[in-house]
Each structure stands twice: as C-alpha cells, then as structure tokens.
Structure 1
C-alpha cells in the first residue's frame, strides 16, 4: 500500500487514472483490485490487494481494504479491478459497498484488462461503450509526465520483488568470505569465539539466546558492549557518508556492517539515521542483496522503513516479505508489516526509534476494527 507523496500527476479522466495507477504503485498490477483515494482534488493514497480465488468471498478483504483507505482522511475513492469480469466484478462491488459503509464516496468503479477499461457506474454508451474503451499507457500524457518526473512502473510485482532478491554467483561467494572475516573481526573486538554469542547473547535476528528482545548494550560484558556500539556507530556513519557521495561499499564494509547490525544498539543507530532519501533506499537495498541469509533481517527492515517513509509502500512490502520469510519473529519487521497492512501513515513513526515507538504500534494493533 502506497502513500503517494511524489511528483503530482494531472488526472482528468478514467483513462488518465488507469495510466497513473502503475506509477502510484510502482508496477503494473495484474489480478488485482486497487483503490485510489482522494482528498479534495488530490490523490492521497493508493492501495492494492490480490483478487480472491474463484468462489471465495470477497467481503472480508474488501472490508479490510476499505478500513485501510478510511484511515487516510480521504473524501472519496475510485475502485479499479484488473482481470476478467468473472473475477473482477464481484470484488469491485464488494469494495465499493465497503467504502460506502465507512463513509467514502465512490467516484467510479472500473475494470481494466487487455488494453481496455470499462466503468461499472457509467451507462452512457457514447463515453463508456459496452466493448470497453481502448487505452495505450505508453501514449498517455500522464505516463510521459510520470517518466519525466523520474517515476518508474515495473512490468509486475515480481519484477519489484526481484529488486530486493539476493545476489548469487561470484558476488555471493565473495560476500561469504567477507562475512567470515567480519565474524573473526567481531570476535577479536568482543573476546567471543567467531560465530559465538555476541555481547548479551544476541542472536542474528536481534534476539538474545533466550528469545526475549533486548539491547546488546544493556546486558553482558560492558566493555565488549561499548566496543560494539562504537564500532557500529562508526560503520553506519561511514556507510551513509560513502553512499551519499555516490560510492558503493566494498564487500568487507558490507559484511562488517551486517554483522554489527545484529546488535540492536547498532541497528537502532542506523534506524535513527534512515529516512526516505533515495540514498538511504539505495544503501539498504545494496546491503540487503549482498548480506548473507542469516544477516538480512536488519538491512531488509531498514530498507522497508526507508521505502515506506518515501512513499514507496510496494517496495517496503516486498522487502518485509523477504525478511519475514527468513526471520518470521523479527519484531521490528513484524510491527512495520502490520503498520503497512493497516495503512498507518509513516508520520506516525516520527521520532522513532525511541522507547515509546514500539509501544505505540502495539497499542494501535490492539485497537478494535471499525
């Protein structure tokens, strides 16, 4: 789900909106239902969900989608289904009804497939013929404006997921060796055997050996913890300086950073310096793709946070999917994933990381659904 705080696109017709959706999401949707929410005359939010399987009740997913959109302080919305009528019509109807129940005006309900769009609400054959209205996104002025503004629409969601997939081949072999060196370096720093527990016994997902979240600097050997904090702060700051100068980290720098990020005090320092800048997204994308599998939780979650802050909700979602597939109990990823699914505004996390931050999200998770 995407906040659309990006260069403005002028949308004056259903064809313009259909052309704009891929740039709002970051990819061309297929077998999907999309809700584009507006406040006044401005698009403020775009949310996408998969079409339900044939025969499945679209109601629960429709109500969830409507609740997410209602949290955006929108006035109205347009529903767009992508796919054949047999799968789209019932879902679009259910989403429209759910939006009406939460007090949003449904401006239009469209179906898009095979280069044509249909309106479920327009009955005027001169503007909405029964055979659908053809459109060419490549020829649209909206598409041209989006490309000129630097926005990208990938072919599909799989192409977006590929942007956060791990590197293989020689890159993976080089990173494996670099990570062995980084673990040895950390062992010298902490006095622990290579690959053994870190200060405070924190595991690779940021949990101590006993499984309870804790900050490595709050337990264990104090000198070792201070050494980790100092090394982590230096590594994070160096990484941001290099990235913002347009320089790519070498293998040893990435490996050292990923090993240190397993300590929550280091991860939280990195988090405090991460915003929605393009450089932040580029840094954490590169680190995530090069990190060894057991060390992906922190860089993947930091990428998701940066993408979310910048309005690239779809990128945040695929980053979190990768993290949670390998580290399902990584608490920060779980909280961010829940926030994205509920349409929580990124501004809700202003001031994070802080002691109250996770508690705020947990309280919001316990709020009853409207």
Structure 2
C-alpha cells in the first residue's frame, strides 16, 4: 500500500477525481484498489494497494481494514471513496468485502467505483440516467484536472513498473571503478583518523552534494561513490536526513539529489541513499515513489532498520509531520 498527502487539484466530479488519481499516486493504477480519504471537502490521503486474488480475500480483509482505518484516521478523514481498477470479477468481491468494515468503523463511504476499460461504474448509484449499466466513459488524459496537474509540475507515469524503472541501477564501468577507489579512500581515512574522520568527511560530502544539486548540477562518479560509501555510517546518514529536513524538505532538487545517488551508487551501498530518497518523497507527499525507493533499499539490505521503520509508517498512514521529531536522530540501529 502506498500513501500520499496529495497536492491540491480541482475536483468537482467523478471524472475529475479519476483524472486526478494518477497524479495523486504518481502513476496510472491498474489491478488496484485506491482509497481516497476526505477531511471535510478536501482530499487528504490517497492510497493504493494491489487487488488480492479472489481466493485470498478472506485472509486479506482484516489487515487491509486495519491499514485503511489507520490511513484515514491519521489525517482525520471521516469520508472515503473506494476505486477498484480492473475487471468486475476482481474488483467487486474486494469492494463488497471491505466496505461493511469501514461503515462499521464510522467511515462514511461517499462512493465506491470500478474503473474498467476506460469506463467507470458506481456501485452506489442505480440511476441509469447518470450511471448506465455499461458504465460512463471518461478519459483521464483530457481533463481540466489533468491540465492543472501538468501546469503545477506534477507527473503521472504509465504504470508502477515505469516508476520502478525510474529508480533502477544505472550500471557503468566508471562507477564500478569509482566505488573501488572510494572504498580504498574510506579505509585509508579510517586507519589514519578513525571513525571520526569518516564522519567529518561524510558531513562535508553531504554539504557539497546539497550545494551542487541546489545549483542544478550533479556529482561526478567519484563523488557519488564517495558519498554512498560514507552514508553507510549511520551518523553520516542521520546527518544527511536531518539536513534534508532542514532544507525545508520540499525543495525539488532534494528529490533529484537522492534519486540520482540511488540510481548511480553501487547496489551494495544503495540502502542509505534509497531510504533517504523515501524520506524525502514522503515529505513531498509522493508515497508511491517512497514505496519504490524502500523496495530498492531493502533489496540492497533486507535488514536495513530505518527502511523498515519508514515502510511501517507508510503502511499505517503515519503523516510525514512525524519527521519533525527527527526520525533518524540518535537512532542506534541501521
């Protein structure tokens, strides 16, 4: 499940809402259950989960209900819209299974929808004048909401696979050699000055990286490799995390910085920058990107503790304001 605190988009109809969903998530969903939470008349959370196989729905429901309720309650949302993307055989049993539990928990269900082959169907509207049996056609690519999102600089990739591909490792011989040199350099620094020398070097490397990307430039292979190796020390990683938050946490170049380091760093050192990317994306309200970044982090190190903590927060709808208390500060574990 991915969690976002969406940017404001004008939504005055179901078609507008469906046009907004890809921009709230960062990609066009498929075979998904999307939950939209409203606080008053404002969308305050958008979450996506894969549709479960029909045979697994009874086992899926309890955990799904807990996650949905946590997502909604953490943003004080009392109203929800459920949207299933896929064929009726996959969507209808899921909507039928989860809706009564949300009702019982005091959540008002504004609507439950199914999107199939460019048409939407409302499970709650039986009036054929506005909800014909064969569905209402809509085009998410041509809508005032879409135009507003694009003008605001928001993007929606074709699908989740494209989002995953955007963070894929960019292997190069130059980076392999740069990583080897960085490891040798770190070893020499530790021998001569101990861990304190590495931490000092890490703080300097973080500052230089911030200055470079704030100026719309990028690090060289040697600089990326050096920073990635230094981030393996949790004190350096925590300093980078705190510096990211202090830089307002929502500067566009921060996402560019940690995305670039995550893609280019040796996979053996990807856990720290990928987790920092997840934290940054979380602050930006890009829960889908945060989730994909966490997948990268845990692929590099399945036991990386901070990645697991952030993953838990995303799955349970904890808002990024929790970062104001410094989630990496003083964390003795990875």
For normalisation by structure 2, the TM-score amounts to 0.93
Contact 1:176–1:292 (Cα < 8 Å) also in 2:
yes
- Find the aligned partners of 2:332 and 2:159 in 1 and give their Cα distance: 33
1:12 Cα deviation from its structure 2 partner: 1.2
Higher RCO by CA contacts (8 Å cutoff, separation 6 or greater): 2
1:354 Cα deviation from its structure 2 partner: 5.6
Which has the greater radius of gyration?
A: 1
* Alignment equivalent of 1:333, drawn from 286, 296, 307: 307
Other-structure match for 1:66: 68
- Find the aligned partners of 1:358 and 1:147 in 2 and give their Cα distance: 42
Q: Which moved more, 1:75-84 or 1:135-144?
A: 135-144
Q: Which moved more, 1:86-95 or 1:55-64?
A: 55-64
Matched, 1:120 2:120: no
SS of 1:122's equivalent in the other structure is: coil
- Find the aligned partners of 1:143 and 1:358 in 2 and give their Cα distance: 44
1:69 Cα deviation from its structure 2 partner: 2.3
Aligned-residue Cα RMSD (Å) equals: 1.6
Other-structure match for 1:300: 274
- Find the aligned partners of 1:47 and 1:137 in 2 and give their Cα distance: 18
- Find the aligned partners of 1:356 and 1:260 in 2 and give their Cα distance: 17
Contact 1:110–1:118 (Cα < 8 Å) also in 2:
yes
Matched, 1:162 2:132: no
- Residues 36-92 of structure 1 show CA distances to partners (whole Å, capped at 9, x for unaligned) of 011111000001111111322252343134223233210201000000101100111
C-alpha change, 1:42 and 1:358, in structure 2 (3 Å) is farther
Q: Which moved more, 1:92-101 or 1:125-134?
A: 92-101
Q: Name the count of aligned residue pairs.
A: 325
Other-structure match for 1:184: 184
* Alignment equivalent of 2:201, drawn from 207, 231, 241: 231
Any stretches of 5+ residues in structure 1 without a counterpart? 193-222, 360-370
Other-structure match for 2:225: 255
- Find the aligned partners of 2:328 and 2:138 in 1 and give their Cα distance: 49
Other-structure match for 2:147: 144
C-alpha change, 1:54 and 1:278, in structure 2 (3 Å) is same
SS of 2:317's equivalent in the other structure is: coil
Contact 1:47–1:69 (Cα < 8 Å) also in 2:
no
Contact 1:277–1:306 (Cα < 8 Å) also in 2:
no
Counterpart mapping for 1:196-207 below 5 A: none
- Find the aligned partners of 2:64 and 2:196 in 1 and give their Cα distance: 50
Matched, 1:55 2:55: yes
Contact 2:6–2:24 (Cα < 8 Å) also in 1:
no
Contact 1:62–1:94 (Cα < 8 Å) also in 2:
no
Other-structure match for 2:4: 3
C-alpha change, 1:156 and 1:354, in structure 2 (3 Å) is closer
C-alpha change, 1:20 and 1:5, in structure 2 (3 Å) is closer
Any stretches of 5+ residues in structure 2 without a counterpart? none
SS of 1:45's equivalent in the other structure is: strand
